[in-house]
DNA sequence: GCTTGACATGATAATGATTATCAATTACAT
DNA sequence: ATGTAATTGATAATCATTATCATGTCAAGC
């Protein structure tokens, strides 16, 4: 099956603009991508959808999924959701609707407006823009992030150099020194046990506090947290 | 000057949650970042703002600008705009307002709603979310992209291997062959002049058409465009 | 006044998310 | 059967961003 989509603007040597229109094919990969997107409970990223498609097409490439999500959204067959400043999501529902976005884990869900809110919008002054549409999005915290169990929110970059626990070697030393102690310790004490300079210990403590692995119940005294103990495991 | 901002959630070994609150300092870099963001006509990306800050602080690091934009927006001193799925923008205006976003070049401008549109929204069913706010965004094409001069939209990745014109070596050969011809050429003719296999010429023509460097005034005949001629220069 | 603690920086490495290249494959048109 | 065109997988490359680390700066405490 062939469908006509995607106009590429170009300009010939005489200066006239025209559009290149090219035939697209409905390949097996595209059919499966569309089907899995319809089945997906929610609005997946390319990577999340790739995991589903790969179950059905073992040889499919992540680049193919990325490429086709852009092509299919450009062709108007699916919606592209750009609600986070770093990662795109996709939606099989082409109808205008409202989303809610979690500020912590970046998850996106559908949400309905109260019926009396559903009106058409118009901009007062288009400022030269040609307006093609609008979107409304709610933001807040999802149920999971509200309970805040072990969930620390969206993906954060961990240093592969540090290993799976997200600890660099100096941080591990500091954490191990704290783990040995039954009471909150000062930086100097930690430095002694860890065999490190006190200034370096101070820096690592700052980083570990940000990761939630170290706490300061008394000023200038530190102790390992539950997360910190898990990170050492 | 010191301000108290940024609470980091942590949990001690007894299982009790608490917040770490840390002092932030208003460094010279932060003051200048805030000032330049206020002066910026529009909503810059980190990279765009870095260019302005660097004019006043020659030694400032891009990482410092990135880090501080996140810190300052986390502290509520500036707004973070996540309207494109790949790049964040920032705004000094903390008031709730509406944006318009160009689907071609990704530029973001402020826009005002018609007065009768300005009502408070409520979601019908929060689905367990704690809703903290909402946003409305218009989308369309900006004045520049509507006229479509030489502007090809947002940044696209060019291959450094190809050089500044964004042409790989085979593409350059094909384009040069086309530049020599006064009339539209078939693939086979191009293959002869370029000393390449016809099949490879075909692939390169496809890529060049997408880049807007080659056009097809007659089916199966190709000619170089004005952009294509510029790309060869 | 000195020491300790804490925040911040620049340089640079590293990462996540995405896109480009290319030879080969598949499919359509003539 | 041949020519043309779209698509793919593997992989390299890029963009946008974040982490690391040694050092600098500044505030607090003794």
Burial class, B177, CB count within 10 angstroms (exposed 0-12 / middle 13-18 / buried 19+): buried
Instruction: Please tell me the predicted confidence (pLDDT) of residue A120.
Output: 61
Asked if the Cβ of residue B139 lies within 7 A of any atom of strand D, the reply is no
Distance measured from the CA of protein residue A147 to the C1' of nucleotide D24, in angstroms: 40
Q: Could you check: is the Cβ of residue B219 within 7 Å of any atom of nucleic acid strand D?
A: yes
**Chain B residues closer than 8 Å to A217 by CB:** 12
List, as ranges, residues 30-69 from B with C-beta within 8 Å of A.
Answer: none
At B47, the pLDDT band (50, 70, 90 cuts) reads very high
Q: How far apart are CA B67 and CA B36, in angstroms?
A: 16
Q: What is the pLDDT along chain A (233 residues), one digit of tens a residue?
A: 455 555 544 444 344 444 555 568 889 999 999 999 999 988 999 999 999 999 999 999 999 999 999 999 988 889 999 998 889 999 999 988 899 998 888 889 999 887 655 556 677 778 888 888 888 899 888 888 887 644 444 555 655 555 445 677 777 778 888 888 777 777 777 877 777 777 778 778 877 777 777 777 766 778 787 777 777 76
Listed in sequence order, the residues at least 6 apart from B229 whose beta carbon sits closer than 8 Å to its beta carbon are: A13, B179
**How near does any CA of chain B get to the CA of A96, in Å?**
13
Interface of A with B in 103-132 (CB under 8 A): 103, 109, 111-115, 117, 119, 121-132
Query: Is B126 in contact with B137 (CB distance < 8 Å)?
Result: no
> Per-residue pLDDT tens for B106-128?
889 999 887 655 556 677 778 88
Average of pLDDT values for B210-214?
A: 72
Is residue A230 within 8 angstroms of chain B, CB to CB?
A: no
B216 touches strand D (CB under 7 A): yes
* pLDDT for the residue A181: 77
Decide if A1-86 and A160-232 have a common fold.
yes
Select from 1.10.10.10, 1.10.132.20, 1.20.1250.20, 1.20.140.10 the CATH code of A1-86: 1.10.10.10
Contacts with B206 (C-beta within 8 Å, 6 or more apart), sequence order? none
pLDDT for the residue numbered B192: 74
Given this structure, which CATH class describes domain A96-119+130-156? Answer: alpha beta
Whether residue B15 has pLDDT greater than 60: no
Query: What rounded mean pLDDT belongs to chain B?
Result: 77
Print the SS3 string covering B125-170: CCCCCEEEEEEEEEEEECHHHHHCCCCCCCCCCCCHHHCCCCCCHH
Q: Where are the domains of chain B?
A: 166-232
State yes or no: pLDDT of B88 exceeds 90. Answer: yes
Are A8 and B223 an interchain contact pair (Cβ–Cβ within 8 Å)?
no
- Burial category of A97 from C-beta neighbours within 10 Å (exposed 0-12, middle 13-18, buried 19 and up): middle
Q: Which CATH class is domain B166-232?
A: mainly alpha
What is the architecture of the domain spanning A160-232? Orthogonal Bundle (1.10)
**Quick check: ipTM above 0.85?**
no
* In contact, A78 and A69? CB cutoff 8 Å: yes
Nearest CA in chain A to B182: A13
Give residue-wise pLDDT tens across range B126-180: 888 988 888 889 988 888 888 764 444 455 565 555 544 567 777 777 888 888 7
Residue B157 CA distance to nucleotide C20 C1' (Å): 8
What are B59-82's pLDDT values in tens digits? Answer: 999 999 999 999 999 888 899 999
């Amino acid at each position: 099956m062939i469908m006509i989509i995607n106009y590429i603007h170009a300009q010939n040597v005489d200066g006239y603009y025209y559009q290149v229109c090219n035939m697209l094919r409905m390949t097996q990969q595209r059919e499966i991508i569309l089907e899995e997107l319809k089945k997906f409970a929610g609005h997946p990223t390319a990577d999340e959808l790739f995991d589903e498609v790969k179950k059905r097409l073992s040889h499919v490439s992540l680049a193919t999924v990325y490429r086709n999500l852009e092509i299919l959204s450009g062709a108007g067959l699916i919606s592209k959701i750009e609600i986070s400043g770093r990662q795109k999501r996709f939606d099989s529902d082409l109808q205008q609707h409202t989303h809610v976005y979690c500020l912590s884990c970046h998850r996106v869900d559908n949400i309905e407006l109260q019926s009396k809110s559903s009106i058409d919008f118009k901009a007062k002054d288009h400022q030269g823009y040609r307006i093609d549409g609008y979107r409304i999005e709610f933001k807040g915290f999802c149920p999971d992030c509200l309970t805040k169990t072990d969930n620390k929110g969206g993906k954060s970059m961990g240093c592969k150099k540090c290993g799976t626990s997200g600890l660099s070697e100096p941080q591990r030393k500091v954490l191990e020194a704290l783990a040995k102690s039954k009471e909150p310790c000062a930086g100097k004490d930690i430095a002694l046990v860890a065999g490190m300079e006190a200034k370096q210990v101070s820096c690592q403590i700052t980083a570990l506090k940000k990761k939630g692995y170290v706490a300061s119940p008394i000023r200038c005294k530190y102790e390992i947290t539950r997360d910190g103990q898990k990170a050492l495991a």
